[in-house]
Structure 1
Amino acid sequence: MSESGLAAATTPRLVATDLDGTLVRSDGSVSAYTASVLAELDRRDVPVVFVTGRPLRWAREVFPYVGSHGLAIVTNGALVWDVAADGPCLERMIPAEVALAVAGTLRESMPDVLFSVETVEGWSTETGHTHGRRLPPVREDRLERILAQPVLKLLARRDGANPDQFVAAATELVGDVVEVTHSSFPLLEISARGVTKASTLKMVCDDLGVAAADVVAFGDMPNDLPMLTWAGLSYAMADAHPQVVSCATHLAPGHDDDGVAKVLAELLGL
């Protein structure tokens, strides 16, 4: 693995970056330096696409930095949002019957697992299990009711579980019908089969006429692995999950040290 930027041979045509633990600092802010680098890339017509596991309601916090191309990929690739129009460009949903079957299989093996779901309208949860989220749910009801319609993401929480072991166990049970990953504490992030950050980013790049070889990607957690593997040039943050460090071709400074912006400034000679 090379240190930041030193092995890059060409200027990227598109930048794809995760947010939490990657572009955004630990206090939730985007530094003035990072903001200035993003603005300069926008002036140079190099799109910086945010590709995040965040749901829409949290992704809105960084929409002022999206740039003139106007797109953000949220909910691990399940939703592409047109920031200027404030509406969806693409929704890649889990069919209701699939989500309900997956939840049933997981609960049969792990009776203590708790479920919630993400939709464009917000998040809904099983009755009595608000999970300490920042915002109250739009709906709190029985599992079969919150899964009566297609969802962007099914979330499964198991307090006290080892996140990596939790993902491995769930993948063994349901990985043939859905995508299972995680980005922090023991909370499974489950998407429709084939829906990852990488597959949706490829759709966006195809529309823009950008090849994978011309994309540089940044990430820090297992939900970033497909994107980092797909992109022609990939950077793990210095404090990234070990799987991400092993997967990426290069290492960037940490997110609290403006690692993404520093690498981009070097790559583009800012």
Structure 2
Amino acid sequence: MSAPASRPRLVATDLDGTLVRSDGSVSPRTAEVLAAVEALGVPVVFVTGRPLRWTEVVFEHVGAHGLAVVANGALVWDVAADAPRLERGIDVDTLRSVAADLRAAVPGTTYAVERLDGIGLEHAFRERHPVPDGARRMSTEELLAAPVQKLLARHEELSPQDYWDAAEAAVGDRVTITWSSSTTLLEISAFGVTKATTLAVVAEGLGVAAEDVVAFGDMPNDLPMLAWAGTSYAMDNAHPSVREVADHVAPDHDQDGVASVLASIFDL
């Protein structure tokens, strides 16, 4: 674990498997370090694949800048205003054509969608997390009737990598496909929408260049962000593809790895 040559001007961190522990908590030590970094005038931006409803639980740790990149870059949320700052969703025509072509190429595919107002699911989609109150089960036609932040595609038989490869071959030139789950669940965003491209917009708005950003992640959906940032850390528990791309390796997320690195970088 080594520090960048110069002190970063922005910290970008994934949540699950990175900043957040296995029990879903942000440890007191991590919270203290984040607050100390913010007090130095360095924004800490959460950059997550989580939908808004799962990100709100950590908003108490968002600093004065008040921004979080949500849903793999499909949404920038202004915490102070409790409103979207930027939305980058999939339009209906693309959504319908991609869903049809992926299902034709890989039978057994089922879908759910994430919108600003929550999740919608096909009747056959097997959600691994508790379905929130107000979520609707519906037909494919109803599900794909309006723009979405993310199209979620699940397969119950293929491995995540095999499914990703098949999906890329079928529709990858029209959308951006990634995954961050231990199950075979693909997260499909509008073409060119990644954690990196949306973080770049946020950083520009804060007057920070890519080379002045330090980023942390653990799963394939973090790869674009880690490649974009001037300094990158894979968590010790990260997917092998993430460890290959990152400049450095941070301790495990259950050992407060992000906090340990930040404390070293900023002499806390």
TM-score by length of 2: 0.97
After superposition, what is the alpha-carbon deviation per residue over 1:167-204, rounded to whole angstroms, capped at 9, x for unaligned? 11101111100000000121000000010000000000
CA-CA distance at 1:25 after TM superposition:
0.1
* Matched residue, 2:28: 32
Aligned counterpart, 1:255: 253
Please state if 1:171 is matched with 2:168: yes
Alignment size in residue pairs:
266
Contact 1:118 1:153 in 2 (8 A): yes
Of residues 226, 229, 243, the one that matches 1:228 is 226
For 2:167, the aligned partner's letter is A
Q: Which residue matches 2:96?
A: 100
Separation (CA, whole Å) in 1 of partners of 2:136 and 2:184? 22
Gaps of 5+ in 1: none
SS at match of 1:145: helix
Deviations 1:82-123, CA, capped at 9 Å, x for gaps: 011111000001001101111101111122111000001000
Counterpart code for 1:236: A
The residue type paired with residue 203 of structure 1 is V
Paired letter, 2:159: N
Shift of 1:164: 1.4
Question: How many angstroms apart in 1 are the aligned matches of 2:234 and 2:39?
Answer: 26
Question: Can you give the 5+ residue segments of structure 2 that lack an aligned partner in the other structure?
Answer: none
Cα distance in structure 2, aligned partners of 1:188 and 1:62: 24
The offset of 1:165, in angstroms, is: 1.5
Any residues of structure 2 matched to 1:48-63 within 5 Å, and which?
48-63=44-59
* 3-state DSSP of counterpart to 1:189: strand
**What secondary structure, in the 3-state scheme, does the structure 2 residue paired with 1:76 have?**
helix
Q: Which residue of 1 aligns with 2:211?
A: 213
Determine which of 195, 198, 201 is the counterpart of 1:200.
Answer: 198
In 2, Cα distance between the equivalents of 1:129 and 1:221?
23
Deviation at 1:251, TM superposition (A): 0.5
Using the TM superposition, give the Cα deviation of residue 67 of structure 1 relative to its aligned residue in structure 2, in angstroms. 1.1
Match of 1:138 among 135, 146, 150: 135
SS at match of 2:198: helix
C-alpha deviation, 1:239, in angstroms:
1.0
For residues 54-100 of structure 1, the C-alpha deviation after alignment (integer angstroms, 9 at most, x for no partner) is 00000011111011110000000000000111110000010011011
Where 2:7 maps in the other structure, the secondary structure is: coil
Give the Cα–Cα distance (whole angstroms) in 1 for the partners of residues 196 and 250 of structure 2. Answer: 20
Q: 2:121 aligns with which of 117, 121, 125?
A: 125
Structure 1 match to 2:179: 182
- Number of the residue aligned with 1:149: 146
Q: Once the two structures are aligned, what percentage of the paired residues are identical?
A: 58
Question: 1:27-60 CA distances to partner (integer Å, 9 max, x unpaired)?
Answer: 0000000000001011111100000000000001
Partner residue, 2:82:
86
